[in-house]
Amino acid sequence: MRNRRPALSEAYAPVSPVKEQMAHLLAHQFEDLEQQHETDTLGIWVFLVTEIMFFGGMFAAYTIYRSLYPVAFEAGSRALNVRLGAINTMVLLSSSFTMAMAVRSAQTARRKALTLFLVLTMLLGVLFLGIKGIEYHGEYFDRVVPSLNFAPQGEVLQRFTTGGLGRAELFMCFYFFMTGLHALHMIIGLSLLLVVLLRARCGVFSSQYYAPVEVMGLYWHFVDIIWIFLFPLLYLVGGRY
Amino acid sequence: MASPDISSLKRDAAPPEPHVVPVRTYVIVFAALLSLAGLTTAVAFVNLGRFNTPIALAIAFVKMMLVLLVFMHLLYSTKLVRVVLFAGFFWLALLVGLVLIDYHSRSWIPDPAPWSSSAPPTHP
C-alpha cells in the first residue's frame, strides 16, 4: 500500500468537521458521499434491469403460449386458489410499505424504527412464503403438479380437457416456474434483509450512510412488482364468474 | 498535464441531506395499492368478455408505477437512473414484441414443399 496514489478524498482532505466525521464512510474512489450514494443506487438499478430481462424471458414465453392456447390457460388458471393469491398480494404490498418505511427510518436516523420495520418486512415476507407453501401443498393434493403429481380428477379434469390436457399442464408449468422463481427471489431477499438487520442493530447506518438499506429496499420493491404482474396473469386469467 | 480545477469540488460542503418522503405519502400510496389489489380481484369475478385481461393489466401497470415512483423514489431520482430503467423496459418490449411477431406471422407464408416430394437431384 506504500505506493498507492492518494485518492481525491484524501488529497483534498476534509476541512469541515462534518466531513471529517464522515470520512470513514467514504470509499476512497469517490469524491464525496453524494457521489458514492448515486453510484450505489445506479448499480442496483442496472442489476434490476438485468432482472427485468431475466423475468422478461418467462413473461415473453407466457405471452406466446397464452396467445396460442387461450382456452387451456383459462382452464389452468381456474385450478389456482385465487383467495390465497389475493391475500398474498396484500401481504407482499404490506411488506413493500414496511420496507419503504424502513428506508425512511434509516434516512431520518431512527434506529429503533429501522429495526422494527426491517423485522416487520421479514415477517411479512415469511408469511408470504408460508401461504405460497400452503398453495403448493393444495395443488399437490389436487394432483395438478406437472411431472410430480399430474393426474387431475373430477371437475378440474373436465375443465382441463376442454382446452387440451397437455396444454393445461403447460400452464401449470408456467405457474410453478414463475412463482417458484419469484419465491427464490423472496428467499434471497430475506437472507439479505437479515444481513441489513444485523448491521442496523450494530448502528452502522445514519442519515449520511444508508445506501445498503435503500439498495435492499429497491430489490424488495422490484420483487413486489414482479408479483403485481404474476397475480393477474396467473390467477385472474380464467375469470371467476 | 493540466492540474484539475479544484475550485469546483464541493470539499467544504456538508454532506447532502437525503430526500425524505413524508409518511403521509407512503400511507396514501399503500392504501391505493391495497384498493387496486382488491379492485383487480373483484373485476375478475365480473364477466367483461375480452376486456378482463386488459383491465387487469392496466391496474397492474398503475400499481407498478406507484411502487416505482414513490416507494422506489423514482420521482426524486437522477435522470440517469430513469434512462437506465427506461432502457430495461424498452429491451423487454423488443423481446416480447419481436417474438410475438415471429410466432404470429409464421402462418402467413405457406410451407414450402418438402424435399422428398420433389424430384431427386440428378448428378452428372
Helix (H, G, I), strand (E, B) or coil at A218: helix
Rounded to two decimals, the ipTM of the complex is 0.86
Does B105 score more than 80 pLDDT?
Answer: yes
- What residue has cell string 414443399? B113
Grid cell listed for B78:
437522477
Instruction: Collect all residues of chain B within an 8 Å Cβ-Cβ radius of residue A101.
Output: 23, 26
Query: Cα(B24)–Cα(A89) distance, rounded to whole angstroms?
Result: 22
Find, in chain A, the residue whose alpha carbon is nearest to that of B102.
Answer: A64
Query: Cα(A140)–Cα(A112) distance, rounded to whole angstroms?
Result: 42
* CA-based nearest residue to A42, from B74, B65, B66, B64: B74
Q: Span B8-37, mean pLDDT?
A: 80
> What's the confidence (pLDDT) of residue B7?
47
Over the stretch A33-66, which tens digit does the pLDDT of each residue have? 888 888 999 999 999 999 999 999 999 999 999 9
Over the stretch A13-37, which tens digit does the pLDDT of each residue have? 545 555 556 677 788 888 888 888 8
> What's the confidence (pLDDT) of residue B118?
60
> What's the confidence (pLDDT) of residue B57?
95
Residues with Cβ within 8 Å of residue A215, at least 6 apart in sequence: A40, A41, A43, A44
Residues 46-65 of A with CB under 8 A from B: 46, 48-49, 52-53, 56-57, 59-60, 63-64
Q: Provide the CA A214 distance to its chain's centre, in angstroms.
A: 14
Does A88 score more than 50 pLDDT?
Answer: yes
Cα distances from A76 to residues A39, A67, A149, A159, B90, in angstroms, run: 44, 14, 15, 8, 30
pTM value? 0.85
Domain borders along chain B are: 21-72, 77-106
Q: Which stretches of chain A are assigned E, i.e. beta strand?
A: 144-145, 149-150
Does A101 score more than 50 pLDDT?
Answer: yes
Domains in chain A with CATH codes: 31-235 (1.20.120.80)
B15: confidence class by pLDDT, cuts 50, 70, 90: low
* CA-based nearest residue to A11, from A29, A34, A35, A33: A29
> What's the confidence (pLDDT) of residue A1?
45
Does residue B3 belong to the interface with chain A, where contact is any CB pair within 8 Å? no
Q: Span A114-143, mean pLDDT?
A: 96
> What's the confidence (pLDDT) of residue A25?
78
